[in-house]
Amino acid sequence: MSIRTSKGFTIVELLIVIVVIAILAAITIVAYNGIRSSANASAAQSSVQQAFKKVEAQKLLDGSYPASLSAAGISNGSATYGYSQIDGGERACVWAQTGDSTYSIQTGSEMVEGQCGQVLASYYNSRPAGATPVFTRAEGDFDNNWGGGSPDPRIPADNFTVTYRARIVPPVTGSYTFTITTDDFSQVFIDGVEVLPYTNTRTSSVTVNLVANRSVDVIYTGAENGGNAYTIFEWEYPGQARVSVPSSVFRRP
Ligand SMILES: [Ca+2]
Ligand SMILES: [Ca+2]
């Protein structure tokens, strides 16, 4: 039979209790941040859905999209909103932000993370891309430079893949040379044709003939091995020296 002679906690027991409490607190904070983040996402999604319905309803009433969000009865409150018309008012795009979450809806396209950028960028935490992206968000163009970092907290700094999808509207008729500079791997499809096979050649070019205002479907995949990561998508065509393909010629696919 053993008899405990001391009452209360020893120093060691006390330290163990403190460590356990600290671990529980850390777990609670992480869980709380996760819950807050997904609550922000839900709030941004429902806000943008309601705002987009109001904008489309205004189009039905007036025959054209409203000049501003306030003209459609939408003002910043629990969410912050943004709005743009695409192709001279043929389509509209609305975004809403709550906390760290932003979602947008554009006429004819599904709701997606991000503001009203016309490029859909899908990120995968593997190289090459897996079956399902970790997330897809709207971005302005095909160019990114992450240095040694990661594109997003949900994606690692190495061994990730991004696939950009958009339609590109050529401003003139003629011969276009696309130059793709990627660290590390890249692949390009134009209208479903693989014009650049999956390769880790840093810089590649492809020349195609395009017709003014006849948009083509472009998919550009960049895959990061290790170290620095970037994607650069340039073009040159009659009257235009080599320059990054500007956000103004991209349309959501
Ligand atoms: Ca890296
Ligand atoms: Ca790299």
Of all ligands present, the nearest one to the C-alpha of 183 is 2
Question: pLDDT tens across 191-235, in order?
Answer: 999 999 999 999 999 999 999 999 999 999 999 999 999 999 999
pLDDT for the residue numbered 12: 87
Ligand nearest to the CA of 149: 1
How many A from CA of 146 to the centre of ligand 2?
10
- Asked if the model's pLDDT at residue 21 lies above 80, the reply is yes
Distance 161 CA to ligand 2 centre (A): 11
**What's the average model confidence in pLDDT over 24-42?**
83
pLDDT band at 28 (very low <50, low <70, confident <90, very high): confident
Q: Is the pLDDT of residue 89 over 60?
A: yes
Task: Indicate which ligand has the atom closest to the C-alpha of 230.
Answer: 2
pLDDT, residue 237, reads: 98
Centroid of ligand 1 to alpha carbon of 144 (angstroms): 13
User: 11-38 burial, b if ≥16 CB within 10 A, otherwise e?
Assistant: eeeeeeeeeeeeeeeeeeeeeeeeeeee
30: confidence class by pLDDT, cuts 50, 70, 90: confident
Given a cut of 60, whether residue 184 has pLDDT beyond it is yes
Lowest mean pLDDT among 27-36, 84-93, 169-178: 27-36
Residue 33 reports pLDDT greater than 80: no
Spell out the domains of the chain, with CATH numbers in brackets.
Answer: 10-113 (no CATH), 117-253 (2.60.120.1560)
Q: What is the pLDDT of residue 32?
A: 78
Structure confidence at residue 51 as a pLDDT band (50, 70, 90): very high
Res 187: pLDDT = 98
Q: How far is the CA of 225 from the centre of ligand 2 (A)?
A: 5
The DSSP-derived string for 93-114 is: EEEEEETTEEEEEETTS--EES
* Average pLDDT over all residues of the chain: 94
State mean pLDDT over 118-139. Answer: 96
Q: Is the pLDDT of residue 2 over 70?
A: no
User: What is the pLDDT at residue 248?
Assistant: 96
Show contacts of 47-50: CB within 8 Å, 24+ apart: 47/78, 47/79, 47/81, 47/96, 47/98, 48/79, 48/81, 48/94, 48/95, 48/96, 48/103, 48/104, 48/105, 48/111, 49/105, 49/111
How wide is the angle at C-alpha 172 spanned by C-alphas 105 and 174, nearest 5°? 125
Ligand 1 midpoint to CA 140 (Å): 22
